[in-house]
Amino acid sequence: MTLFLKMSLASLAFAALQVVMRAAGDSTLIRRLQERDPKALSEVYDRYGRLVYSIIYRIVRNPSLAEDLVQETFLRIWSRAASFDAEKGAIGTWVLTVARNRAIDHVRSTDGRLQAGAMDLDRLENTSLFAQLGTDALSLDRMRRLQEAFQKLTPTQRQVIDLAYYEGLSQTEMAERLKQPLGTVKTWTRSALKLLRDELAGVAIA
Amino acid sequence: MTCAELSDIYELYALGVAEDDEKIEMEAHIARGCETCRLGLADATALNVGILNLVEIESPPSRLKRRVLASIGVEKPGWGWVWALSAAGLLILSLWLGLQERTRTNELADARNQLMNTQGQRDRLNQALQFLSDPQTQPASFGRGTNAPPRGYVFLHPQMGVLLIASNLPAAGAGKAYEMWVIPKGGTPRPAGLFQSDGRRGLHILSGPIDMAALGTIAVTLEPEAGSAAPTSTPIIVASAS
Ligand SMILES: [Zn+2]
């Protein structure tokens, strides 16, 4: 099993470029989604479809299942757009979060891991949270910083990040999986997140 | 816990992977309108999405966009888009074909052609497709349990009712049928129709308005062919309305 984030510099540069390309026009797009303009969903797909598929595929590792979950993600975006604050909206952050959560939900349910998780994720998709972020959350500057910060993580730090983001494991579950004391796992996680946070500090989210 | 202590786990909480006790603490801060934690969670969410954004890019098949748009009805429900490479359409179509072959084996050597020409079946399929394409339809997925549990979708619509599509669903067996149940919040299960599986998939539609606000759960049990007034076995499918 690949536990580490595979990040070739080329793919990172490409991802960062994609972010710039889709930076503008979120609030209009959200308003059109709320007005039930199907072309707006088509645009959301054009902007984020590849990333949504990539994130889901990274989690489920199965192309046809990934397609099912991409469809589910966009259906959810379509059916819940009404609750989004079009003035401030950072629709990309919401879309990517919904995508990750759909895939994690699926993995958890097939693992037989507790159903309560599904409700958690649902609540964490509350759109008001994303409305506060502004559209620069995925700015090129931030992405470049984050990319550099990632290079500084140790293999164990990357491993715990990977388990939390792409396998949806809690620290207790990580400790079991890695056969390490909980305290050790917590230290790795805390230090990894602190490093990433600190590197981003100073790059403001508008 | 203090805000400072919680600040270590903002990202984990936003990912839904915080420990239960931490979740409770975190939610207490949110509930009392703690500004520090609110801002901290917003930053954490931005960091989380930034990390997801660094994923290695894979290319989805180009048909996926058509499928996504078809599912919200960009292309009008009808034969045109059934035959487009919509996986959802093909799934429904193939399982419907499967059901027909199962119940009318003798007549249906050329089932596909006949189906396309039979008004009743066309209506049924169109009904399912319309269901999937209406913006008021709310998906709820299910699929938990151990080895190869049934997987699929339940769609809810205030006027059209409930559409259930299950894959990985074994044939019910001689003298048996699957029965769907609509369970209101805090209420007892109400029978919502019988259906069969073709050995892999099952499709069922409960037509008519449903009270979305009162709806708690959709469940499916294995019952005698004639159906039961109340479930007599453990549900094999449980989908919660969100
Ligand atoms: Zn606080």
Instruction: CATH number of the domain at A159, please.
Output: 1.10.10.10
Give the residue among A158, A120, A112, A201 at the shortest CA–CA distance from A2: A158
Last residue of a domain, one of A116, A137, A158: A137
Residue A189 to chain B, least CA–CA distance (Å): 9
Smallest CA–CA distance from A167 into chain B, residue: B17
Same domain, A105 and A160: no
Pairing outcome for strands B190-195 and B138-142: unpaired
Residue A26: which of A73, A92, A76 has the closest Cα? A92
Is residue A4 situated within a structural domain? no
Q: Which pLDDT value is given to residue B229? A: 87
Q: Which among A123-127, B145-149, B237-241 has the top mean pLDDT?
A: B237-241
Structural domain of A168: 140-200
Query: Do A119 and A41 lie in a common domain?
Result: yes
When pLDDT is cut at 50, 70 and 90, the band that residue A188 belongs to is very high
Q: Which residues have C-beta within 8 Å of that of residue B106, sequence separation ≥ 6?
A: none
Which CATH number fits the domain that encloses residue A122? 1.10.1740.10
CA of B37 relative to ligand 1 center, distance in Å: 4
pLDDT-derived band at B137 (thresholds 50, 70, 90) equals low
Report how far ligand 1's centroid is from the alpha carbon of A141 (Å): 29
Q: pLDDT at position A7, please?
A: 34
CB distance A161–B51 less than 8 Å? yes
Number of H helices, E strands in chain A: 11, 0
Last residue of a domain, one of A95, A120, A137: A137
Question: Cα B195–B197–B199 angle (5° rounding)?
Answer: 165
- The set of residues, in sequence order, having a beta carbon less than 8 Å from that of A4 and lying 6+ positions away, is A155, A158, A159, A162
Residue A2: inside a domain: no
Residue A13 sits in the same domain as residue A90: yes
The verdict on pTM exceeding 0.80 is no
Residue B169 CA to residue B133 CA, distance in Å, equals 24
Question: B171 — alpha (psi -120 to 50), left (phi > 0) or beta?
Answer: beta
Contacts of A175 in chain B (CB under 8 A): none
Residues of A in contact with B38 (CB under 8 A): 132
Same domain? For A127 and A184 the reply is: no
Picking from A109, A137, A165, the residue at the C-terminal end of a domain is A137
Please tell me whether residues A161 and A115 are part of one structural domain. no
Based on the domain organization, do A119 and A130 belong to the same domain?
yes
Structure confidence at residue A130 as a pLDDT band (50, 70, 90): low
Q: Alpha helices of chain B — where are they, by DSSP H? A: 3-6, 10-14, 20-31, 35-52, 63-71, 79-83, 87-103, 111-117, 119-133
Q: Which of A182, A79, A12 is nearest to B241 (CA)?
A: A79
Across A55-69, A160-174, B140-154, least confident range: B140-154
- Reported confidence tier of residue A134, pLDDT bands at 50, 70, 90: low
**Which residues of chain A have a CB within 8 Å of the CB of B14?**
124, 129
Q: Which pairs from A183-189 meet CB under 8 Å and 24+ separation?
A: A185/A160, A188/A154, A188/A156, A188/A157, A188/A159, A188/A160, A189/A157, A189/A160, A189/A161, A189/A164, A189/B12
* Mean pLDDT of the region A170-176: 95
Range with the largest mean pLDDT of A105-114, A144-153, B71-80, B101-110: A144-153
In a domain, A206, yes or no: no
State whether A104 and A190 are in the same domain: no
Flag whether A45 is in a domain: yes
Phi, psi of B143 (to 5 degrees): 130, 70
For the record, the structure tokens of A10 come out as 């080329």
Residue B118 has pLDDT above 80, yes or no: no
A129/B47 Cβ within 8 A = no
Neighboring chain A residues of B136 at a CB cutoff of 8 Å = 79
In one-letter notation, the amino acid at residue B39 is: L
User: Is A146 found in the same domain as A129?
Assistant: no
Q: Is residue A205 part of a domain?
A: no
For residue A3, being part of any structural domain is answered with no
- Binned at pLDDT 50, 70 and 90, residue B103 comes out as very low
* A70 and A164 both lie in a single domain: no
Q: Please check whether residues A24 and A76 belong to one and the same domain.
A: yes
Q: Note the ipTM here.
A: 0.83
What mean pLDDT value characterizes chain B?
72
Residue A161 lies in a domain: yes
- Residue A30 has a pLDDT of 85
Whether B60 and A70 lie within 8 Å, measured CB to CB: yes
Instruction: Identify from B57, B65, B201 which residue to disrupt to test chain A contact, counting A C-beta atoms within 10 A and taking the largest count.
Output: B57
- Distance (angstroms) between ligand 1 centre and the Cα of A169 equals 24
> Which pLDDT score, from 0 to 100, does residue B134 have?
56
> Quick one: pLDDT band at residue A23, thresholds 50, 70, 90?
very low
So what's the pLDDT on residue A135? Answer: 54
**Proportion of chain B above pLDDT 70, given as a percent:** 65
Interface test with B, best of A78, A111, A150, A176 (most B CBs within 10 A): A78
Contacts of B65 in chain A (CB under 8 A): 42, 45-46, 49
Residues A16 and A85 in one domain: yes
Domains contained in chain A, number = 2
Distance B22 CA to ligand 1 centre (A): 12
CB pairs under 8 A between A and B: 203
Q: Which residues of chain A have a CB within 8 Å of the CB of B145?
A: 112
For the segment A163-169, the average pLDDT, to the nearest whole number, is: 96
CB-nearest to B135 from A57, A79, A138 is A79
